[in-house]
Structure 1
Amino acid sequence: MLDISLLDFFHDLTNPQLGFLLRAVGMSVVAAVVCGIIGCYVVLRGVAFIGDAVSHAVFPGLAIAFALQGSVLLGGAVAGATVALLIAAFSQRRQLREDSVIGIFFAAAFALGMVIISRVEGYTASLTSFLFGSLTGVSRTDLTIGLGVSLLVIAAVIAIGPQLNAVCLDRETARAMGIPVLLLDAALYLFITAAVVISVRTVGNILVLALLITPAATARMLTNTLQHMMLISAGIGAAGSFIGIYLAWAIDLPAGATIVLTLTVIFLLIWALSPLMHSAFRKESH
């Protein structure tokens, strides 16, 4: 049973003493929008594994940054970008399947993170929020950086969208057309890294894959147009994140897990209703 009504939740969002709650909502919505957009490429290319790999690749970066008392977000971004570029480079050889390369670097990055954890005192207590998400972990600086990074990623996607679409649809044809597949792969992986890094504060890097995949997969059932898919995915992600944080706040649940479960419920509802919606649409068109 909900201990806090939706009206009370909106009142809490305007309470200066609960500023962390508004920042958490802002960061989760911003992250959901950019994850929803980038996730469409991940779903269409069938490389969901890359999201999982990048989310774990930031792990050693967080640990190193913590050990050096630096910015954990910057550390995660550097580590994630490094692994993303390595995956993009190594997967260009046709003898190697992309998912195999992803698996290799995913395991290596996570293993490196485990080694670093074993050597850093106090790591577990201080960085648990990065694994599972936290409502109180978002600072004003995090929110500002997250918003700025999201706007840059969205602008970049708009700028190189046609080339990214071509690579996603047919890599070999794109190569034959002279499209720089390696550079576009690297760009997509860096976009995924950015989306993952700004999401770990509220969702946590263990669950961030759901923010990339679930809204995009849900949107895929509703449209065949990439532009519409991106808009719907971003909307579903934002709505699911807002509702998830409300439920987490009202029932005292983990924020990241509640957001993921909310998005999963939306996916299941659309999965159940989409055949009926498509049937109704066909009848109207006739």
Structure 2
Amino acid sequence: MIEALQFEFMQNALMAGLLASVICGIMGTLVVVNRIVFLSGGIAHAAYGGIGLAFYMGWPYLVGTLGFSLTAAMVMAAVTIKAKHRADTIIGVLWAVGMAVGIILIDLKPGYNVDLMSYLFGSILTVPDRDLWIMVGMGIFILVMVVTYYTDLLALSYDEEFARIRGVPVTALYFMLIGMLAVTVVMVIQVVGLILVIALLTIPPFIMEGYARSMLTMMVGSSLLGVLFTVSGLWISYSFDLTSGASIILVAGVFFFLNLFVQRRLSTRKRPSLAVTREKTQAFDPQRS
């Protein structure tokens, strides 16, 4: 890995991966706690429409994709608030329409061939300095917003009614949360692609949820796990000439299933045996006394 870091593209890739890991650890925690994984998937796939729009109009990738994703995210947020019983259906439609728009706009761009695989599975090794600095700016923005509204986000995540009683502007805060999620998705698409973005957002927080005792601890632990997955995936990708985004998610997936196995073993050990349970039941049963 030290040898690989001699190359500028690997330095940019590592920096982009670290930024995405920290932001995904923070935002992924909010996604998992608020149970909006499906909504984040809708934003990720609708973002493909922004990719097509950016290429068709000749705009920078991040500018076009961010605008389109924010618009789609706000529509999805409004739907989940106004029509919760139909939210999954409408999000699924926006998910599909966004991808279709992106593909058609790319097809309509004359004389231009786009490597679709780089956006489906990530192109972390080709992140330019310009996009890297934009990612730094977006990451700082998200971090500042989360720190500023941490207490309100905590109340919203665990008890919406309690948050309203406290005077928290729940609706405005929810729209802000979905907007930050859209920014995060646009950042992470370059790292692992839009198909795998949900894995990087959800796997580290899911693992940490079983060990963390506070949302802050969960955010920090998820960020560290994301860094571990990203660095390990990049090393595997460089060593074996594999797709970087898929390698990162494969490492995360291995840890995910190992965690499930460990948790299952621990729960089995803590659970009393059937014989012990029957013995205790008989001992406290007055009819058997």
- TM-score normalised to structure 2 length: 0.86
In 1, Cα distance between equivalents of 2:140 and 2:235: 25
Q: Secondary structure at the match of 2:81?
A: coil
* Other-structure match for 1:125: 114
* Other-structure match for 1:92: 81
In 2, Cα distance between equivalents of 1:123 and 1:183: 41
Q: 1:158–1:120: structure 2 CA closer, same or farther, 3 Å change rule?
A: same
* Other-structure match for 2:285: none
In 1, Cα distance between equivalents of 2:218 and 2:110: 45
Residue 84 of structure 1 contacts residue 193 of structure 1 at CA under 8 Å; is this kept in 2?
A: yes
Residue 63 of structure 1 contacts residue 123 of structure 1 at CA under 8 Å; is this kept in 2?
A: no
Residue 52 of structure 2 contacts residue 103 of structure 2 at CA under 8 Å; is this kept in 1?
A: no
* Other-structure match for 2:175: 186
Residue identity over aligned pairs, in percent, reads 30
* Other-structure match for 1:112: 101
- Is 1:225 paired with 2:217? no
Deviates more, 1:270-279 or 1:116-125: 270-279
- Amino acid of the structure 1 residue aligned with 2:62: L
Q: 1:118–1:250: structure 2 CA closer, same or farther, 3 Å change rule?
A: same
Q: Secondary structure at the match of 1:10?
A: coil
Structure 2 gaps of 5+ residues are 271-289
* Other-structure match for 1:152: 141
Q: Secondary structure at the match of 1:205?
A: coil
Structure 1 gaps of 5+ residues are 1-8, 282-286
- Amino acid of the structure 2 residue aligned with 1:44: V
Residue 56 of structure 2 contacts residue 106 of structure 2 at CA under 8 Å; is this kept in 1?
A: no
State the Cα distance separating 1:110 from its structure 2 match. 2.2
Number of aligned residue pairs: 271
In 2, Cα distance between equivalents of 1:254 and 1:122: 27
In 1, Cα distance between equivalents of 2:213 and 2:268: 15
Alignment of 1:57-68 (within 5 A): 57-68=46-57
* Other-structure match for 1:165: 154
Residue 208 of structure 2 contacts residue 218 of structure 2 at CA under 8 Å; is this kept in 1?
A: yes
- TM-score normalised to structure 1 length: 0.87
In 1, Cα distance between equivalents of 2:62 and 2:49: 12
State the Cα distance separating 1:122 from its structure 2 match. 5.4
What's the RMSD between the two structures over aligned residues? Answer: 2.3
- Is 1:34 paired with 2:26? no
* Other-structure match for 2:2: 10
In 2, Cα distance between equivalents of 1:80 and 1:124: 23
In 1, Cα distance between equivalents of 2:12 and 2:100: 32
